[in-house]
Chains A and B, each alone.
Chain A
Amino acid sequence: MPYEIHRRDLIRIAAAAALAGPAANAAPAAVEPPKFFTPAEFALLDELTEMIVPTDEHSPGARAAKVAAYIDMRVAEAFETKEKETWRAGLKLVDALSAKMHGRPFLEAASGERVAVLTRMAEHEKNPKTPEEVFFRELKRATVRGYYTSKIGIHQDIEYQGNTMLDEFVGYEVT
């Protein structure tokens, strides 16, 4: 429960910040309401992406990189309604699995319990079988794509040095 309140507060603060103008938009959550997901679904998605690529001592994670907002945008405009259904159903599966394992929805579970849920979902990543496992793969694929194409992913995490004009090629000359 405390977590949920915390999330709602953040969204409220963010909305206020957005209204206050560009100078004050430093809150790390979505500044616009989600286009496809409900606020509750969005909060769950945001937490899942952050658990997949978290902030660590090296660089900020998926939440700071607004990966959930990226996924929300792509799902909102998805051409196939099946894709939208898959995402909505997938998030329900996460809560259902959490309820089954720990007796409460994912965001109400303790941090260790959440890790246990995601670990279960990631168990057969290479060859997913259950609907939860299939959804994890899609969730991770979208998170990876969103994070590593973001400003934070490219510049702060991977520290990519290219896409710049060079006088000389870098590397070893063949002699």
Chain B
Amino acid sequence: MFLPAEKSGEVDLKKTYDAVIVGSGAAGGMAAHVLTSHGMQVLLLEAGKKLNINKELRSMEWPYDHPRRGDMPPDCHALSGREYAIRNPPYAQGSPYKHVYSYVEDGNGSDYAKDIVVDEKDHPFTGTRYAWVRARCLGGKTNIWGRLALRLSDYDFKAASHDGYGEDWPISYADLAPYYDKVDLYLGISGHKENLPHLPDGLFQRATRLTPAEVQLRASLARMGRVLTPYRAGVTTDGLKHNKYRSRCYGRGACDRRVGGCDIHAAFDSPTGLIFPALDTGNLALRTNATVFEVTVDKNTGKASGVSFIDTDTGKTYAAKGRSVLLGASTLESARLLLLSKSTLYPNGMANSSGHVGHNFCEHFMGPGVYGLVKDRVGKPRTLDDGRPGSFYLARFRNLSDRHSKFIRGYGFEGDSGTKMFPDNAYGTPGFGAAYKKHVRDYAGAFIGMGGFGEVLPRYENYVDLDPSVKDRWGVPVLRFHYRFGDNEKKMAADMADSAREMFEAASIEVLAVNREILTEGYSIHELGTSRMGTDPKTSVVNQFQQCHDVKNLLVVDGSTHVSASCQNPTWTIMALCWRSCDRLADELKKGNV
């Protein structure tokens, strides 16, 4: 049963909902699931359209059955990594193309996500360079995410206590562990238990397997006290009896050829994982093409009274009312929304008495990595290596028990090896003719590579605000970026490249290339921390339950609230935190406390 639910619940704008949720990705979807399961009446507003995602992704379509072998139509342009590095936002300015998309549309298989990712022409932004990938459609970026589902630990939540930089989170791992468990069980996760204190195990379903090259690297790393583990994927490998919209994974392996995305929904996405089941409770009303541009205020109480939104089809504006409002519009869009919500009561934007909204913006940087050849694999009979939702993850090893002399915090690697449908080495192998062709074929399955994800420190001076003059297609002021990587990131990047080389050499993998360059800010699509949580209303925006200090019935439930980025991919943490906050909110709503 893979068909998306057609019913969207009846939207009644005269009604005061228990909760109005803005955004339908990992955070908004989770909020809808948890609140409706507590019997709350919920309105979910999504700025983008509702897509038949199966039709968009067509996961098993062969390249030769697509007119352009997976490429977009000629009037569409995808920004390249180089363009981000040499040009300045707004990136679509002056472009002759009809549509301009972010880099995730670049390369093979880009045609499948062009309706999911926003057109930069409609959604400009200004300021410093940033590869800002946005998805406006039901489910947001969860439709095409990379699926790596990792937990944070007290090495992350209490990092400030360990190295003295920044702030600790107002929670510890023990507070969040039960909610990680809930997310694991409700959505399904694949992985292998490793008993690492800094990368806690989840309640894993069947793990994926490793290629011979990965086994070789894992064994070598074990001798160094480091751990390579099968990709911990937010994918159900054994199936979920409680969800009729999702199939288990069948190892079809199109995961990386379609800019992510899974048309049988074995990989988690918010619509089939969270929203359709929430609609089935009868407690959820959903409206798409509803771009919220303001959180409205009850002047008497100072509380949030609901939201105002634009119907993006008609351009008409509407108001929706709620006893509580939850922002899950994404780290940067939620900050934008708070800053847009200016009133006499809140002249700097809502929930911003601290002046911290938009600040302490952080993420993961990418770029440094290594690419190598496993000579034993050359000319071996073909194996099936890409029939899995991910290959491997190499857990953090820096600044755990030791202290590196040049930088604080850490990084992990994502990697991949073996045969793929398309032999990437065909581009780089020199020459032509029969010898060239044989070389490409013999070497196609013999490569292994990995790239790092490093923690970017949160800094007050890294922030976004509203551009005073530039507006988007619907007349809403856009974000202006003031964001650059710092010294710690640069030193960490150098170590990342050095250690990547060392680890390959130690495993007898012939190093072919070491990349030392940091990619443009934003490349990891892991932006975090513009409304951080904390105990002090002067230096933080929300409390540990993601309630705004200034406005108790307004919650920010997405990555905005992360105090620091850690180096682990954030989606699973976003959902665990949101579940915890919504359990608490449902309780408070029942007691009449908000």
Contact = CB atoms under 8 A, between A and B. Distances in A.
B80 to A, nearest CB: 14
A173 interface: yes
A163 B430 contact: no
B38 interface: no
A1 interface: no
Contacts of A77: 74
A70 B209 CA distance: 36
A58 interface: yes
Interface in A95-115: 115
Given A78-B74, A158-B382, A165-B250, A54 B423 contact: no
A58 B438 contact: yes
Contact of B388 (A52, A140, A169): A169
Nearest to A66: B64
Interface string A62-85: 000000001001100111100000
A159 interface: yes
A154 B63 contact: yes
Contacts of B108: 149
A149 B253 CA distance: 16
A170 B430 CA distance: 31
A122 B387 CA distance: 35
A145 B66 CA distance: 13
B441 A171 contact: no
A169 B382 contact: no
Interface residues of B, number: 57
B432 A118 contact: yes
A144 interface: yes
A77 B210 CA distance: 42
Contacts of A130: none
B301 interface: no
Contacts of B68: 74
B441 A157 contact: yes
Chain A contact residues (Cβ within 8 angstroms of B): what range?
A: 35 or more
B252 A149 contact: no
Contacts of B385: 170-171
Interface string B359-371: 0000000000000
Given A158-B444, A162-B421, A144 B427 contact: yes
B218 interface: yes
Nearest to B237: A169
A150 interface: yes
B69 A149 contact: yes
Contact of A122 (B419, B431, B438): B431
Interface centre among A56, A61, A165, A171 (most CB of B within 10 A): A171
Contacts of B210: 171-172, 174
A74 B437 CA distance: 23
A173 B209 contact: yes
Interface centre among A159, A161, A162, A173 (most CB of B within 10 A): A162
Given A122-B431, A151-B64, A158 B253 contact: no
B430 A54 contact: no
Nearest to A175: B192
Given A122-B431, A171-B209, A79 B75 contact: yes
Given A148-B422, A163-B60, A79 B437 contact: no
Given A56-B434, A154-B421, A172 B74 contact: no
A174 B69 contact: no
Nearest to B193: A174
A125 interface: yes
Interface in A137-167: 140-141, 144-151, 154, 157-167
8 contacts: A56-B434, A77-B74, A79-B97, A158-B421, A159-B382, A164-B387, A169-B209, A170-B383
